[in-house]
Structure 1
């Protein structure tokens, strides 16, 4: 009787296992069947590449979005260059660009990837962009993580397979055997081709569905026509372009879907996830500073205006708005457009979106570069300090990273790592400190064998030859010793970049590069009037005409005006 039960149970388990296997296999086959309409083009030469890119551009002229993904091979834990780039249009035209066969990135493909008007949608595409930049020097623009839009529409932002199943009802083939297969093989298998094309195509399919859903919920019904709807794509997508998806928000169930519980901006700014603190007071007080004859020199904050008065260097003219007049002749006066900039009153709002409840100072030219500028360029640096709300500040910093990486490559200025860090760990010091801490804490518990205790004491005495025996004082000193020493080989990324520009074209070009990047990447709508990319050059020209700029200053800048 017992044996019969075992046989029955075993048979049932086998039947269930076979049923599950067949069901799973059917699901995968269903996914293959769902994409039988795809037109897959394998690209292994430049001529084919140009033709495929031409067709892709033709099919995405209205939607301005394509599905994007890439594959590579990892050998012994080391990543090899990207071997395959997958691009798909909504109509099902898929280009599989075998970069390992091409040995380079053709110009037509490069132009498409760097076109900021066409969104490259997928899951974590910005990570793929970093690999492509490192492997082929391509500055991939307008990447869009579909999880931003999924979360906005109330869906759980899982991985590509999870989203595909919940949004499209399609189960993707995510077997490790295919994901980790050889993408550099001489000829890709049918399963590899279907897998690669499906990953790119399902991304654009989901994006279109989510965008349509969002459009119908936000815009009036007469804008639901295909062309009218896609003309508004930038209104939604620009704020998420080239932004990592790292937001972790609390969610609650509502009507079977997950509803995002938004966190107040001020609370977000003070959280551990986003350490920047929002300002509790305005940056611009718009007090007025006058020359002795009453000419307006500039606006300033209350603290600075009161400092002049307290030092008896100025007199209060009016209290509201606070206006003070200097008792001495200033070194220079406001001249031309560059001078008028400092006379203007400025708004305490986010220069990108106009948010006025919470904002953070943004250095348009990052401090890691500006701190290496000569003093003559650091004067009046308030021009490059603007206000951004928390979300715009986070987005701007993320987009800055692409420029930093490009500068690192162009200027041969790698970022700090365990080899190039400013401070490195001294192995011997760490060994001594560990020995001291073991003796100090473990010996008190009487858990150290005599032989081990003697070994640790010898380590201490060898490194402290002035001591004949191990004392409590010696243990405390060794337990708190620093194990980091300055790295003689350390080279600051920011310093190397400024040195490169100083030799190649002048620091003004580096400064202007960052200003142009800010305007292009953030498209600010509320910038202060007269804010200019060439502001510093114009200001220095005024100083040069007034005889307040020496030849030595010009050499430090690396240019001649």
Structure 2
């Protein structure tokens, strides 16, 4: 028995040594600056809808699952993948025995074949996949692309260009469940339980050989992705598809970093907290988490081997300062030497949090309460509490009513001795001259009736008599590009609505805008290149101001992120690079803090009328494509009538536009 015990101890130590060596053997290949810039440029040019695959639904054939673990096999697979228009991609990662984790298997589906690429035995050869992932003519289809694209960049310096995400598609289609197995069942008739899928996800992907069960599971994760993209895109609107394009572009442009910042800490803590996160609790959590991350990186172990995140969250939310559970929570021998340091961090963090956020430890206000506060502020700031229509009468010399007006307009005539007061109630003036006015021949009689009828101060939808907002039936987005003739047709389309009705009307207005965007194939928020350049510059200016003001107070890791953003911005634009040649980064930051300097820098684009170029040119492009402008205007008026069903619409408005 004694010999057996010694043997078991020896085998345990040997296993530990082997695993330790294995951890050290894992190599990572970072993306070069040139790779990043080239990929970002390609991603920046992806602003059109996806090509949509159209393939039949067919079950997977086990004979078409190809396991790739030699350089020759990989080269053969790459030849086939390079000619594909669509590929499905999934990753199997393992992180139990390392800080960062590492990719063990890359699954790529094309046509009816799935390649299982062994990322351990071929680790030094995986970079040969770079041209495929950076090719904008090949659509890469992931399910939950954020992690997979970051892992590819972390391990092999691979940046993905032209990505579609079926999980984002599920969100766009408002599905309650977003798991891949849910989509398999809904669209493909393939059933896999969530429990089994979770078990397979957590299996030992780092061990070789992989079991037949693991290979089949891994192949399934990639096999249906191309079919799912095709069927889901057919159910989505143009706007929904473009929103996925924008989101995946944003994800793929994100540079991988090992830096643990507040943003990352917040995302992690949010997974364990159902309610709003208390600022004090978050401060304690983030400080301890950052410290433990450094230890985990130094020892090259997974953070969960040091502490359970759930326990750390509970500890950070403790109601008292005398934390007695520190030793219980941090019981791992890996950090036994750091208990005193951790206790000190917690104590310091609580004191600092109290100073910054006050003594109250209650949970933050709910979203509903915050939303109501914002709404009340909006009402107070923007709604009109007094009378909008003062209904003063203006008569021409023969005593005929010309129109109703407000006191401001009436006083303009009186101050110049162009009119005289006839009576006080209702306040009426008579002009001393014969006005020269013309009516639009299209709407002449209706226009006259509009001017000579008294207007009520009430919401035209519900009749409420206070808290008004003006509402344009034909949005300014389009109207500003009308010719004068058609601007005149919607001169009187500004109506009074209460705040609630105004909000509802805007929702229906947005729906029609989206329909127009789809019908005319012109994206909403379709800004020109000059506007994009201005937005980028002024966004970087905010970074510069933050750095300049908080140079001594902003955490070092946050400063690094901001400095990196500024450097990347300058490096990506040759004109800016030339302008700042010979200056150090802080000279550039101070210079960019000045708004006038930024405007001066924008002169590289020539003499630009920013009031025009700054605006979303969706409206301009739509107006240029409209064949019948009169019908376009009437469509907007009928949209308001049908969707809002106004009960207090002025008769003059109805007569003006021949609406029953």
Rg larger in structure: 2
TM-score, normalisation: structure 1: 0.43
